[in-house]
Amino acid sequence: MTWKNSREWLTTLVAFDTTSRNSNLALIECVRDALAALGVPATLIHAPSGGKANLFATLPAHDGGQQGGIVLSGHTDVVPVDGQVWDTDPFQLTERAGRLYGRGSCDMKGFIACALALVPEFLAMPRARPLHLAFSYDEEVGCVGAPLLLEQLKLRGARFDGCVVGEPTSMRVVVAHKGIHLFRCRVHGKAAHSSLTPQGSNAIEHAARLICRIRDIADHFKANGPYDEFFDVPYTTLTTNQIHGGIAVNTIADLCEFAYEFRNLPGMSMEHIQGQIEAYVRDELLPRMQHEYADARVEIQALASAPALEASEQAAITALVRALTGDRATRKVAFATEGGLLQNAGIPTVVCGPGSIEQAHKPNEFVEPAQLEACERFLRRLAQSL
């Protein structure tokens, strides 16, 4: 069979609409079958629903060894294109003016395409250590798939020397990122005609108090830290980004629902931040609500969570990736990746991949061919180092 180069692989991968609400199985099975044709078995770790899967494959060392080595990690899902105005078909890779346009071209099917394109070269190298491919589902909605993959690898007793997460960093080394934690809050009050306000309990107004409290906590971090000036946003942030409530302008709302997130610096406790919010609900908001309506309540549901990453400069993978890229700068980012999960699982991890995060999630998302070429050179040298 004729193996695809990185651009051909990217064309194939972009053509699969793996928006997180959809299945990624067609893409995963395509990769599995292609690897099988080269004699590389791949393990699929399915979601509980069965409609999605992670893929893990090992390219053994020259002596057949499968322990240790380096993991090349990427997610297969992409964000929606709904409501965005594209100049090209988002699910057909299109070259214009020296750029390759398509959903996921940058975030992060470009990295996966480069890794797959080099598999035959990797197999031909007399490596003393294995290389591993780990492709996940549902990273974009809270790193849902990776924990299942890591759990299975732990059960198998797998050990690794390090991992490169190929999120778009313009092929520069990122050694840390913030954690991200998403919550949904439902505030339950009591409906009434708006002319009889004292007979109701306005869920929107009470939700507004909680939203303002979340903003107060965010303002405290902005004003007082802690800070890490290597981050583009050097403090922990909290934001409320969606809200729904009410049925009519003349009806007291009995339900208001909103979603909030916070992005914490490494070393900041998620439990401490969320504890401040829950303490306000318990000690101040609920007593006030229940003074109006005894059955008033507030429900907070954790939707997704991904821990922060802070790579050790002493870790071999950090030193190796710095040496191969020539990048010695300390670079930390506000966007989250699966790197924190991998690090917490005992796999030293750094982030380095083709394309710019500034293009991710936007209409007309693109990656430059030069970035794919740089990624190929990096991955080839990474494999040769083994």
Q: Residue 4, Cα to own-chain centre: how many angstroms?
A: 27
Concatenating the DSSP letter of every residue in 195-223 gives: GGGGGSB-HHHHHHHHHHHHHHHHHHHHH
DSSP conformational letter for 194? G
Strand duo 42-46 + 94-96: pairing: unpaired
Q: Which of 17, 107, 138, 139 is catalytic?
A: 139
Based on the residue annotation, tell me whether 77 is a catalytic residue of this protein.
Answer: yes
Based on the residue annotation, tell me whether 139 is a catalytic residue of this protein.
Answer: yes
Per residue in 60-73, is it b (16+ CB within 10 Å) or e — as a string? bbeeeeeebbbbbb
Cα separation, 378 vs 324, whole angstroms: 7
User: Which residues fall within 8 angstroms of residue 229, CB to CB, at 6 or more apart?
Assistant: none
Would the CA dihedral through 104, 260, 149, 176 be positive or negative?
positive
Cα separation, 246 vs 267, whole angstroms: 39
Q: Which of 77, 107, 167, 376 is catalytic?
A: 77
Question: Taking CA 71 as the corner, what is the angle to CA 70 and CA 77, rounded to the nearest 5 degrees?
Answer: 165
- What single-letter amino acid sits at 222? K
Per residue in 286-306, is it b (16+ CB within 10 Å) or e — as a string? beebeebbeebebeeeeebbb
- What single-letter amino acid sits at 9? W
Residues marked active site are found at 77, 139
